[in-house]
Amino acid sequence: MFLNTSITMNNTSVDVNVTSYLDMDITHVMTVYVYRIIYVVGVIGNTFTAVVWVRSRLKVSPVCYFIALSLVDNLVILTHALETQHSVNIQGLCQLVHIVFLAVQILAILLVLGMSIERYIEICHPMLGGKILTITRTKRVIVLLAAVSLLLSTLEGYTWALDPVSDTCDLRTHLPSSYLWIYGFSVIILFFVTPLLCVIILNVLVIAVLSKARRHSSAYGRSMMKPAKASFNTPFLVVSLYLAISELVYALVHLSYYLGPSDRSTWLHSSPLTGRWRSYDIKSIPLLFADAAALSSYALDLTVFTLSSKTFRKEAVGLIPCRKRKNQVFLSRNLLRRSNA
């Protein structure tokens, strides 16, 4: 896996690990260029997406989830950038950054899970959905999910501390390795793998029911949910499945390192993992690529909604000033014609 070569300097043979230099180049390109492109695209796109949905005239529960998800995705990107690009060397802030970083990731996944459950109820049990699913209840659920995410991530602050020797935020040195291993494994299984698998299962059930509805009469398909909500089926499925699959791949890649052998001499496992991963100090190339792919799922909301939602495109075009003026002129002309008639 590693390519070693030998060069002669002053009649002395020196072994040089070419692969290690290649790994350093890949890591440099990923952290300096790829990550920063994702940060810029994500912050701009998510902000614009949130503005479009906030200004939208549609008052339905999926819009509430889309607004919350756009804002949370921005927080994921910003906290990831803070961990990756800067050394947090202030006691207290060190723990707070990691708590928030884990909390917003959990919240993003729980929001997608909440959307999946709501879509499943509305499509598979429309009579029940008409009774229990309201905008007010959806907003309360989003606030509750935010509180639960923050509560579940509080233990993350205990595992981090400011190292007085290196003056960097790192894992606490006095914690036993068994605790870190159990904690990290539990976080990945309980907060990432389990809810993401639930999202995929719910999406598969929804797709199966929608496919069955299309094979029946069109009247049956239209009666399953209100047209205002039915228009969000495609973007909902794309957003949820993209996040679920990318995060699940990252979690499985990370789990393979927990379960696999700890061998420093392989490209697949360049450093042993102890507990929670450090996103700003990933030394494994596959894990680095998996992390970038998962991070991109938080940065491409604008692209996903633009490509998959006709409603979003219509609302986004309506925000353009010249387009607004044309619409106003068109409406005023119609009103004038009607009054003359």
pLDDT tens string, the chain, 341 residues long: the values are: 233 333 444 554 444 444 444 555 677 777 778 888 999 999 999 999 999 998 887 778 888 999 999 999 999 999 888 877 666 677 778 888 888 988 999 999 999 999 999 888 888 887 877 778 888 899 999 999 999 999 999 988 888 887 777 777 777 778 787 887 888 888 888 998 899 899 999 988 888 888 877 776 554 444 455 555 666 777 888 888 888 888 888 777 766 665 554 444 333 333 434 444 444 456 667 777 877 888 888 888 888 888 888 888 888 887 776 554 555 444 455 555 656 55
**What are the residue ranges spanned by the domains of the chain?**
24-318
Compute, in degrees rounded to 10, the torsion defined by CA atoms 33, 39, 45, 48.
Answer: -140
Q: At what angle do helices 233-259 and 61-85 cross, to 10 degrees?
A: 40
Compute, in degrees rounded to 10, the torsion defined by CA atoms 237, 242, 244, 246.
Answer: 170
Query: Can you give the C-alpha Rg of the chain in angstroms?
Result: 24
Q: Phi and psi for 17 in degrees, rounded to 5?
A: -90, 100
Q: Could you tell me what percentage of the chain is helix, strand and coil, using 3-state DSSP and rounding each to the nearest 5?
A: 75, 5, 20
Identify which of 306, 298, 304 has the alpha carbon closest to the alpha carbon of residue 38: 298
What's the whole-model pTM score?
0.78
The SS3 of residue 134 is coil
The answer to whether the beta carbons of residues 69 and 109 sit under 8 Å apart is no
Compute, in degrees rounded to 10, the torsion defined by CA atoms 40, 42, 43, 47.
Answer: 140
Tokens of 35: 């990550």
Q: How far apart are CA 68 and CA 246, in angstroms?
A: 20
The SS3 of residue 309 is coil
CA angle 144/93/44 to nearest 5° reads 65
**CATH class for the domain made up of 24-318:** mainly alpha
